[in-house]
Amino acid sequence: MIVKFKLNGKEIVKDVPVYKRALDFLRDDLGILSVKEGCGEGECGACTILVDGKNVHSCLMLAVELDGKEVITVEGLEDKIIQNAYVEAGAIQCGFCTPGFIISTKALLEQNKNPSSEEIKEALEGNLCRCTGYLKIEDAVKLAAKMYNKGSDER
Amino acid sequence: MKEVTRKIPKKDALGLLLGKPVYTDDLAPKNSLIVKLLRSPHAFAKIKNIDISEASKIEGVECILTYKDVPRNPITRAGQGYPEPSPHDWYILDEYVRYVGDEVAIVAGKDEKCVNEALKKIKVEYEIFEPVLDFEKAEGHPSIIHPEKETHPMFEIGFDAQKNIAASYEMEIGSVEEELKKCDVVISERFYTQAQAHVAFEPHTAASYIDMHGRLIIISSTQVPFHVRRIIAEAFDIPIKNIRVIKPRIGGGFGGKQAVHGEPFVAAVTLKTGKPAKIVYTRQEVFEATYSRHPMRYDITLGASKDGKLKVIDMKGLSDTGAYGEHALTTFMVAGSKTLPLYNKVDAVRFSGKVVYTNKVPAGAYRGYGAIQGNFALESAIDMLAEKLGMDPIEFRKKNMIREGETSPIFKIMGEGREGVDMIVRSCKLNECVEEGMKLINWKEKFPRKKISETKYRGVGMAIAMQGSGIANIDMGAAVLKLNDDGSFNLLIGATDLGTGSDTILAQIAAEVLNVPTEDIIVYSSDTDLTPFDVGAYASSTTYVSGNAVKRAAEKMRKLIIKEGALKLGLDESNVDFDGKYIYEKNGSKKVSLKELATVLLYTENQKQLIADASYVGEESPPPFMAGFAEVEVDIETGKVKLINYIAVVDCGVTINPNLARIQVEGGLVQGIGMALFEDVKYSPNGKLLTNNLMHYKIPSRADIGNIIVKFVESYEPTGPFGAKSVAEIGIDTPPAAIANAIYNAVGVRIKTLPITPEKVLMSLNNK
């Protein structure tokens, strides 16, 4: 089936088998390697992508469901504010789950410019990490919020 | 210190955050055959007949291999020293299958679809045996899990396959029986720990291809590239020189990748077809068919005099290694060797027991490596003894625990798989850890409990722990430093960064010695062709062992720079020094920049490549120490335990990178908390793992872990690089015992079987 959608700002038109998962379509056919398969059943969040501004698990989605949608992955984030905040907060270990966290952070900060600790916990509950213990990730989200807000103050 | 003790971001941080292609699956050749495994549906069976004819006809299928098609050399998958203390009891494929998930056949094809189809079309006839599923009934069970005659240990490890015993061990100092008679108070208790799963987020992945020279190249998410090279050579009867193993970035390990897993299967396909091949385990396969933690049972007897002196420790253990004896003896011994020295003033101590085979998921290395199992038992029992003595559990510990400058006879007697090394504990700030932790959790105010409401009680509990820093006289790491024409350095190390940040801290160590910025040290690690040997990332060895190797190599490089600089300046070496930028005359004005010297050395004058190497083997294994304090809230209506606070105060020597040290401890704590409270392992009656996905096997999310505070006490280890000890494992050890103790203090029920689920708490409350 032909799918037409916007990936990181670029129009994609591609023939894709109806059984193919969005995750495999992105990784294997479109070379979007930031999207990782951690569990394949929507539990870990390593495959999180933004679809029309919502963070979703691409392992639970079919490629054909992307039709007509706007998709953003880590490769397509315009600024690197969230990434820089994660670096500065030291919120990274093996990095396998991190692109998923970045996307969920983006989804949160788009909705909520000053999230509380509780709101961060809730927003990132669908993303699991086995290395970091989560504490620095929370710091990174707060730092990213601060960096965004500072940026908009200056403007 | 300029570079060491700085919170430098991980060198690979931004690359990882941008989602660059850096993991094995990202780097596997694009035309790789997809490899999958047919796995046994039975816990114990013999393959009577295997028919691949239908499956082979499926379009796109390139090859199907069974036990008849691969060499049958007994090996161990465990990536340890060599010879390994694990029995050689594993075959690439075998006619026996010993657990649900054991490999039956290798299928390779052009895509996942055809391979999956072929897997369904392979017809296997099994002769099914009664499996051994209860490790307490394994010894002497009529079913013998390893009846084959080729299986053997590399040296004496107490192996007895006829009785399903993979290893056994016994030691005694003084006379436990005699000393117990002299004790005023004695307790005997039994504890169980579960087969925790690692859940590293990158599933086990391996790729292979043949290079232009006909050599087998393996890319793998492994903790032990050099061991992988040796084991693959042994399994396939091919020379080590014909194999290269590359470890790119890897998505976590925690011990689960301290072994070969997918590598033999892709290698078999590539060797057979000449084509590139890759295998990416599914999450279910990772759960069912890689490694778990060794479940253990401990019977502990403690004896003390009424004034609170601990006189006797007796630990009798039983460990379940599953279908293969990987890390069987060593994890068992570590349960003693990394707990018993905590109480070094006893009159008699005994540690004994067996590691048995069962028809379950093989157990292997896992962060803590026996220490967490032993710690849960011993540190729970210590609280029970203190209560019986009528003493505060912290006062009891402080009276009996190890102090700086002391030793323990255990160090010499118990090593890993063999004798250990006598040593004085040169750095031990355990007392400071305890004091600081008491303050941070407000122990005096909160101990033992506070009533929050009619149904909720809060309690505090604690535990102390120790680990090691590499395996003394066994673990070796090497480093090479190479000067480039712009004055930067390549640091080549066999050490294996699992995501921990070891590449970064090793660069910091080199930079500190050379007095250059860490950014000028370009790290390349873990490639058996291009980097020097290192045993790999395990046993909390990298900072201490590989770190010392890097420090020595950098010191050599510094000397070489001074030597060549002196030549260039026409001065005597003794008259010259190097400050990181310039090689200069000590009492004069002559100088040359490192960059200029580096350039002329390569292109114009006295031409040579400056290169320095060093190796390091620890003569000691200085233990990091910590005290862990838990505050829990127990709901007596539901049995639910909520972790309110966890305080960890750690002595890991000097923290080379305080940020990376902290995140290691935080991550370790959360895994330990998971083991204590959530991570339950269940099997079906016929031996199938039921908790084989993240829905049924719950690991902690951010919402589960309460408030965590990690603090480092000031400490300096004289044998470590710039005073450092290890930090990788110590964080995981205390949560099970500290949380169990806190629950007891809150509501008076003692849970002795992990994990501490609401069901267990509620049942105990009801039986009280």
Tokens encoding B205: 């992945």
The ipTM value here is 0.96
User: What mean pLDDT comes out for the span A31-44?
Assistant: 96
From CA B329, how far away is CA B157, in angstroms rounded? 7
CATH code, A112? 1.10.150.120
From CA B108, how far away is CA B95, in angstroms rounded? 20
A39–chain B Cβ distance below 8 A for any pair: yes
Say whether B743 sits in a helix, a strand or coil: helix
Give yes or no: residues A67 and A95 share one domain.
no
Distance from CA of A144 to the nearest CA of B (A): 14
B499 contacts A90? CB cut-off 8 A = no
> Quick one: CA dihedral B276, B277, B280, B286, positive or negative?
negative
| CATH-assigned architecture of domain B476-617 | 2-Layer Sandwich (3.30)
Give yes or no: residues A43 and A16 share one domain.
yes
Query: Tokens 């490999």 map to which residue?
Result: B103
Domain-wise residue ranges, chain B: 13-129+201-252+257-289, 292-471+620-767, 476-617
Residue B417, pLDDT score: 85
Q: Where does residue A134 fall: left (phi above 0), alpha (psi -120 to 50 degrees), or beta otherwise?
A: left
> Quick one: CA dihedral B743, B747, B748, B754, positive or negative?
negative
Least CB–CB distance from B201: residue in A80, A130, A134: A130
Tokens encoding B150: 């080729």
Least CB–CB distance from A93: residue in B199, B667, B701: B667
Q: What is the pLDDT of residues B150-209, one digit of tens each?
A: 999 999 999 999 999 999 999 999 999 999 999 999 999 999 999 999 999 999 999 999
What is the Cα Rg of chain B in Å? 27
From CA B166, how far away is CA B329, in angstroms rounded? 8
Q: What is the pLDDT of residues B490-537, one digit of tens each?
A: 999 999 999 999 999 999 999 999 999 999 999 999 999 999 999 999
Picking from A22, A47, A74, the residue at the C-terminal end of a domain is A74
Q: What is the pLDDT of residues B578-596, one digit of tens each?
A: 999 999 999 999 999 999 9
Picking from A74, A91, A110, the residue at the C-terminal end of a domain is A74
Q: Do domains B292-471+620-767 and B476-617 have the same CATH topology?
A: yes
Residue B702, pLDDT score: 86
Give yes or no: residues A64 and A99 share one domain.
no
- Give the pLDDT band (50/70/90) at residue B416: confident
Q: Which of B760, B194, B758, B454 is nearest to B750 (CA)?
A: B760
CATH code, A12? 3.10.20.30
Give yes or no: residues A125 and A147 share one domain.
yes
Q: A24 to chain B: nearest residue by CA?
A: B112
Picking from A28, A49, A74, the residue at the C-terminal end of a domain is A74
From CA B371, how far away is CA A2, in angstroms rounded? 56
Query: Tokens 């700085």 map to which residue?
Result: B6
- Give the pLDDT band (50/70/90) at residue B748: very high
A87 contacts B19? CB cut-off 8 A = no
From CA B518, how far away is CA B550, in angstroms rounded? 13
User: What mean pLDDT comes out for the span B744-761?
Assistant: 98
Q: What is the pLDDT of residues A75-88, one digit of tens each?
A: 999 999 999 999 99
Residue B741 scores a pLDDT above 70? yes
From CA B498, how far away is CA B251, in angstroms rounded? 7
**Whether CATH 3.30.365.10 fits B292-471+620-767:** yes
Give yes or no: residues A39 and A86 share one domain.
no
Give yes or no: residues A29 and A68 share one domain.
yes
Domain count, chain A: 2
Tokens encoding B493: 């190390």
Distance from CA of A124 to the nearest CA of B (A): 7
Q: Which of B679, B656, B678, B675 is nearest to B726 (CA)?
A: B656
Q: What is the pLDDT of residues B474-488, one digit of tens each?
A: 999 999 999 999 999
Residue B768 scores a pLDDT above 90? no
Chain A positions touching B198 (Cβ under 8 A) are 130
Residue B207 in contact with residue B277, Cβ under 8 Å?
yes
Give yes or no: residues A60 and A43 share one domain.
yes
Q: What is the pLDDT of residues A110-154, one digit of tens each?
A: 999 999 999 999 999 999 999 999 999 999 999 999 999 987 765
Q: Which of residues 102-121 of A touch B (CB under 8 A)?
A: 102, 120-121
Residue A155, pLDDT score: 46
The one-character DSSP state at B32 is P
From CA B632, how far away is CA B583, in angstroms rounded? 59
Give yes or no: residues A91 and A62 share one domain.
no
The CATH fold assigned to B13-129+201-252+257-289 is Aldehyde Oxidoreductase; domain 3 (3.90.1170)
From CA B419, how far away is CA B412, in angstroms rounded? 6
What is the Cα Rg of chain A in Å? 15
Q: How far is CA B181 from CA B303, B390, B391, in A?
A: 9, 20, 21
User: What mean pLDDT comes out for the span B143-149?
Assistant: 97
Residue B635, pLDDT score: 98
Least CB–CB distance from A41: residue in B26, B693, B703: B693
Query: Tokens 């540690």 map to which residue?
Result: B351
User: What mean pLDDT comes out for the span A7-12?
Assistant: 97
Give yes or no: residues A63 and A92 share one domain.
no
- What does the mean pLDDT of chain B come to? 97
Least CB–CB distance from A134: residue in B662, B695, B702: B702
User: What mean pLDDT comes out for the span B648-667?
Assistant: 98
- Domain ranges, residue A96: 81-154
From CA A94, how far away is CA A2, in angstroms rounded? 36
From CA A70, how far away is CA B164, in angstroms rounded? 58
A129 contacts B499? CB cut-off 8 A = no
Give yes or no: residues A46 and A90 share one domain.
no
Residue B293, pLDDT score: 98
With b meaning 16 or more CB within 10 Å and e meaning fewer, what string describes B204-237?
Answer: bbbbbbbeeeeebbbbbbbbbbbbbbbbbbbbbe
Tokens encoding B6: 């700085």
